[in-house]
Protein backbone atom coordinates (compact mmCIF):
# COMPACT_ATOMS: atom_id res chain seq x y z
CA UNK A 1 0.00 0.00 0.00
CA UNK A 2 1.29 3.45 -0.89
CA UNK A 3 1.23 6.14 1.81
CA UNK A 4 -0.89 9.03 0.41
CA UNK A 5 0.74 11.55 2.78
CA UNK A 6 2.80 14.15 0.87
CA UNK A 7 6.52 13.79 1.47
CA UNK A 8 9.02 16.69 1.40
CA UNK A 9 11.41 14.80 -0.93
CA UNK A 10 8.95 14.25 -3.79
CA UNK A 11 10.59 15.43 -6.99
CA UNK A 12 13.98 16.03 -5.36
CA UNK A 13 17.15 14.33 -6.54
CA UNK A 14 19.03 12.28 -3.96
CA UNK A 15 22.72 12.21 -3.06
CA UNK A 16 24.25 8.72 -3.15
CA UNK A 17 27.00 7.31 -0.95
CA UNK A 18 28.65 3.91 -0.68
CA UNK A 19 27.31 1.67 2.03
CA UNK A 20 30.64 0.78 3.61
CA UNK A 21 29.11 -2.06 5.62
CA UNK A 22 28.67 -4.24 2.52
CA UNK A 23 32.04 -5.55 1.33
CA UNK A 24 30.88 -9.02 0.30
CA UNK A 25 29.52 -8.48 -3.22
CA UNK A 26 32.38 -7.33 -5.46
CA UNK A 27 31.56 -9.27 -8.60
CA UNK A 28 32.78 -6.73 -11.14
CA UNK A 29 31.70 -3.39 -12.52
CA UNK A 30 27.97 -2.78 -12.98
CA UNK A 31 28.33 -2.59 -16.77
CA UNK A 32 30.00 -6.02 -17.02
CA UNK A 33 26.72 -7.97 -17.20
CA UNK A 34 25.47 -9.59 -20.37
CA UNK A 35 21.98 -9.38 -21.83
CA UNK A 36 19.25 -7.96 -19.62
CA UNK A 37 16.46 -9.92 -18.00
CA UNK A 38 17.05 -13.40 -19.37
CA UNK A 39 16.74 -16.56 -17.26
CA UNK A 40 19.99 -17.14 -15.43
CA UNK A 41 21.10 -13.60 -16.28
CA UNK A 42 18.86 -11.17 -14.38
CA UNK A 43 18.48 -7.48 -15.21
CA UNK A 44 21.34 -5.48 -13.63
CA UNK A 45 20.35 -3.34 -10.64
CA UNK A 46 21.75 -1.38 -7.71
CA UNK A 47 20.29 -1.80 -4.24
CA UNK A 48 19.53 1.52 -2.56
CA UNK A 49 18.70 2.22 1.09
CA UNK A 50 16.55 5.37 0.74
CA UNK A 51 17.15 7.41 3.89
CA UNK A 52 14.36 9.85 2.94
CA UNK A 53 11.71 7.22 3.80
CA UNK A 54 13.78 4.55 5.57
CA UNK A 55 13.06 1.99 2.86
CA UNK A 56 14.97 -0.25 0.43
CA UNK A 57 14.55 -0.30 -3.32
CA UNK A 58 16.30 -1.18 -6.55
CA UNK A 59 17.20 1.01 -9.49
CA UNK A 60 17.80 -0.62 -12.86
CA UNK A 61 20.21 -0.02 -15.71
CA UNK A 62 18.77 1.86 -18.70
CA UNK A 63 18.63 0.31 -22.18
CA UNK A 64 21.57 2.41 -23.38
CA UNK A 65 23.73 1.04 -20.53
CA UNK A 66 24.81 4.56 -19.57
CA UNK A 67 23.20 4.89 -16.13
CA UNK A 68 21.07 3.31 -13.42
CA UNK A 69 17.76 5.14 -12.96
CA UNK A 70 14.91 4.84 -10.51
CA UNK A 71 13.38 6.31 -7.42
CA UNK A 72 12.30 5.88 -3.84
CA UNK A 73 9.45 3.36 -3.75
CA UNK A 74 7.64 5.40 -1.10
CA UNK A 75 8.00 9.12 -1.94
CA UNK A 76 9.12 8.85 -5.58
CA UNK A 77 12.31 10.95 -5.25
CA UNK A 78 14.21 10.24 -8.49
CA UNK A 79 17.87 9.37 -8.91
CA UNK A 80 20.34 8.55 -11.67
CA UNK A 81 23.79 7.00 -11.24
CA UNK A 82 25.98 7.24 -14.37
CA UNK A 83 28.05 4.27 -15.53
CA UNK A 84 31.60 5.03 -16.58
CA UNK A 85 35.23 4.02 -16.42
CA UNK A 86 36.86 4.45 -13.04
CA UNK A 87 33.56 3.69 -11.28
CA UNK A 88 32.92 1.19 -8.52
CA UNK A 89 31.97 -2.46 -8.38
CA UNK A 90 29.78 -1.92 -5.31
CA UNK A 91 26.13 -2.91 -5.69
CA UNK A 92 24.54 -1.40 -2.57
CA UNK A 93 24.32 2.28 -1.63
CA UNK A 94 22.59 4.72 0.71
CA UNK A 95 20.79 7.75 -0.70
CA UNK A 96 18.80 10.64 0.65
Split into its structural domains, the chain has a count of 1
The range of the structural domain enclosing residue 85 comes to: 16-95
Model confidence at 91, in pLDDT bands (50, 70, 90)? Answer: very high
Pairing of strands 45-50, 92-95: parallel
pTM: 0.61
11 phi-psi bin (left φ>0, alpha ψ -120 to 50, beta other): left
* 1 band by pLDDT with thresholds 50, 70 and 90: very low
Query: What's the confidence (pLDDT) of residue 41?
Result: 76
In a domain? residue 39 = yes
Does 3 reside within a domain?
Answer: no
More confident site: 93 or 40: 93
| pLDDT number for residue 18 | 54
Give yes or no for residue 73 having a pLDDT over 60. yes
Structural domain contains residue 8: no
Amino acid sequence: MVDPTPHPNVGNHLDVVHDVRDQSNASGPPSASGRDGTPGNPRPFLGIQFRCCQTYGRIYRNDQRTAYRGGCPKCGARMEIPIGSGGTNKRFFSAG
